[in-house]
């Protein structure tokens, strides 16, 4: 069976070029927004499962993938304005939006400002309390970046990695084939800018998303990985008192659950969008 391939497109937003991939217009718009140190192509396995029912669009945030790598602009206010500008340029409204980690945080904060952009939100482990940079899910990385002699070398590294080794085999191949670049010396690097991990711009930006979840007049599905469920122990009471807020845990997964069990995450998204009963654990 031949895998579907998305079309690569660019749009000019706020004086930078943003790259996105478009999987074809087969239904309501479903926007996918990655977290730190990932790109639009980390969603490929899920997009292949969903593009026959939705118009799947996945965006490279600034400093990631083939969007422009700027030295600054990685605070929440800039990322929110980038996403708003992207939606305006493509005339996107009433979307189903799915965000992982930082992507989910940006989606939630934009939905608070511009609720008409979204029909519903699916949030994969964003931080609920946006406070100190040191509390980020993705910690500061050392200045020296690791590179690899070849894509085969990277593939072997990921297969043995404590975190990446949990990803499904086809997802690892997607990362190796689409989230990498060849450096002038021939070595292989991952497509995200080191500047994107400089948190000095966001160190004064604080937010508690729980009041936002309560106030948003739209359905929200919050998805938690089994290995990190203790980090979100304050969410079950919120779900019980907030009619539009739903909580699901994905078994046998860590933070990148959509790369470990894309079939399970795609299935619960489809159930959520179609108003089917949602399992507490999948």
Rounded CA-CA distance 54/59 in Å is 15
pLDDT computed for residue 52 by the predictor = 96
Q: What is the pLDDT of residue 181?
A: 98
Provide the domain count of the chain.
1
Distance CA 3, CA 1 (A): 6
Judged against a pLDDT cut of 90, whether residue 80 lies above it is answered with: yes
- Is residue 159 one of the residues assigned to a domain? no
pLDDT at site 156: 98
Residue 91 lies in a domain: yes
Give the tens place of pLDDT for each residue, 12-49.
999 999 999 999 999 999 999 999 999 999 999 999 99
What residue ranges in the chain does DSSP mark as E strands?
7-13, 16-22, 29-33, 55-59, 95-100, 118-124, 129-130, 180-182, 188-190, 207-208, 220-225, 245-250
Q: Is residue 192, in this structure, part of any structural domain at all?
A: no
DSSP code of residue 231: G
pLDDT band at 3 (very low <50, low <70, confident <90, very high): low
| In-domain check, residue 171 | no
pLDDT at residue 140 tops 70: no
Q: What is the pLDDT of residue 144?
A: 62
Helix (H, G, I), strand (E, B) or coil at 16: strand
What confidence score (pLDDT) does residue 202 get?
60
- Lowest model confidence (mean pLDDT) among 81-85, 205-209, 239-243: 205-209
CATH of the domain at 98: 3.40.50.1820
3-class state of residue 237 by DSSP:
helix
Evaluate whether residue 156 is within a structural domain. no
Model confidence at 223, pLDDT cuts 50, 70, 90, reads: very high
Does 43 map to a domain?
yes
pTM of the model: 0.94
> Tens digit of pLDDT for each residue in 115-131?
999 999 999 999 999 87
* pLDDT for residue 274: 95
Question: Whole domain around residue 252: which residue ranges?
Answer: 8-135+198-273
């Amino acid at each position: 069976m031949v895998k579907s391939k998305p079309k690569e497109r660019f749009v000019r937003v706020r004086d930078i070029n943003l790259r996105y991939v478009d999987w074809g217009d087969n239904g309501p718009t479903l926007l996918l927004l990655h977290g730190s140190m990932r790109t639009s192509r980390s969603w490929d396995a899920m997009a292949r499962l969903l593009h026959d029912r939705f118009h799947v669009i996945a965006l490279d945030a600034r400093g990631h993938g083939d969007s422009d790598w700027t030295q600054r602009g990685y605070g929440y206010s800039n990322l929110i304005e980038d996403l708003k500008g992207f939606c305006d340029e493509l005339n996107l409204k009433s979307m189903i939006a799915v965000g992982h980690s930082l992507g989910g945080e940006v989606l939630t904060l934009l939905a608070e400002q511009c609720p008409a952009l979204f029909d519903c939100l699916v949030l994969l482990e964003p931080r609920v309390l946006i406070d100190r940079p040191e509390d980020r899910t993705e910690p500061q990385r050392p200045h020296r970046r690791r590179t690899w002699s070849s894509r085969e070398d990277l593939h072997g590294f990921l297969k043995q990695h404590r975190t990446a080794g949990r990803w499904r085999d086809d997802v690892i191949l997607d990362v190796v084939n689409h989230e990498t670049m060849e450096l002038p010396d021939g070595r292989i690097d991952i497509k995200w800018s080191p500047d994107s991990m400089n948190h000095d711009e966001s160190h004064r930006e604080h937010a508690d998303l729980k009041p936002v979840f309560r106030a948003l007049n739209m359905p929200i599905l919050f998805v938690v990985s089994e290995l990190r469920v203790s980090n979100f122990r304050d969410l079950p009471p919120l779900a019980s008192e907030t009619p539009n807020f739903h909580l699901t845990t994905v078994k046998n997964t860590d933070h990148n659950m959509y790369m470990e069990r894309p079939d399970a995450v795609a299935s619960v998204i489809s159930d959520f969008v179609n108003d089917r009963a949602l399992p507490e654990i999948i």
